[in-house]
Structure 1
């Protein structure tokens, strides 16, 4: 039997992988901005809360985080379906790493830009929206591209909590057919294509934002 006959089943897994990646990316980006800004807060309690979140999710295994939320939380009366568990855990994990990118990019904005905004009597929120964040976005885009690719590859773990993603489908087909070399090679190519799509999209956004910023300065 030709391995290409299994392509429709693998593509079903690709759809699930893309859905998880897209949803978890939104969660990760939102949490990264919240935690990154919280790390810069003048309020000590807010700073330490953000530090606790970041260190917890960076310092523990992503696989154990998935297992804990899927298998342990039901013992406390909180049972979640596999899809929201996958999205939430991946978003929390990648968001913790992304918060450092956000914080670093904001800190990297030249002090002269902030001082000029203060001289123009801009409020703190207006400075952040109009001056700091637009410049920081360009700095953080490429590192975020790397993180989103890591997120995509990390979705392979969700097969262990019964989600029928690409890895799950490839594994089941291999068990049924023993076409190991062909199936896993095709699966590898599919992950590679998805990762390259993310890289190209981020590079495109980076070029657009960079050129737009240069035109704005001119």
Structure 2
């Protein structure tokens, strides 16, 4: 440990860069996943059978194949088809596609959980389909989406070590360099565990705050807790 701490101090700038790359991959992947989740989730409730069927195929394919394989396909196989992406872009795209498919089920299920009487009341008030969705359904469904979205966000964060397999110098990559330089496997990976725990705790706290705010806007009990 005595030899490890000075080396850790010297490695802090590199570790900081690794944390930033990890956060960037998490944020960009989550943003892409959120967009895809809403696109697929809303499409799965389309009145057109073809749209629903195509959405189901896409969602099941992305959920039914490994994130590891999806990442490797984008990094190693896609260039053979004439499309080459930067390693970090491959990771963000893989995270967005995979977690977006899981998020689509969250969106679909949350919208379906909004009581039908709410939609009926909106129709009685003369609201069109888009207006009903924006002003009545989504504000209530949004509260239901946040807890599972929090879980998916933390799962996405915990998937970022996969990026080290495609040469992205994220946190795990940097810690592994530190471990190789010092031979202090236990200490190095303990640091890695603590950093991931801290980041996950911060993300969880942020999502909890969003959930409380969303509940408060709807006047639900516990919104101000």
Calculate the TM-score normalised by the size of structure 2.
0.93
Residue 180 of structure 2 is aligned with which of 175, 182, 197? Answer: 175
Q: Say whether residues 1:210 and 2:215 are aligned partners.
A: yes
Deviations 1:79-136 (A, max 9, x none): 1111111111101000000111000000000111000001111100000000000000
- 1:43-62 paired onto structure 2 within 5 Å: 43-62=48-67
Matched pairs, number = 215
Q: CA deviation at 1:183?
A: 0.7
Aligned position for 1:63: 68
- 1:95 paired with 2:100, answer yes
Q: Deviations over 1:151-189 (max 9, x none)?
A: 000011011010000011111221222111111000110
1:14 is aligned to 19
Deviation (angstroms), 1:8: 2.6
Q: Does 1:201 align with 2:203?
A: no
Partner residue in 2 for 1:2: 4
Structure 2 unpaired stretches of 5+: 221-225
Partner of 2:40: 35
For normalisation by structure 1, the TM-score amounts to: 0.96
User: 1:186 maps to what in 2?
Assistant: 191
Of 157, 160, 171, the residue aligned with 2:162 is: 157
Corresponding residue of 1:118: 123
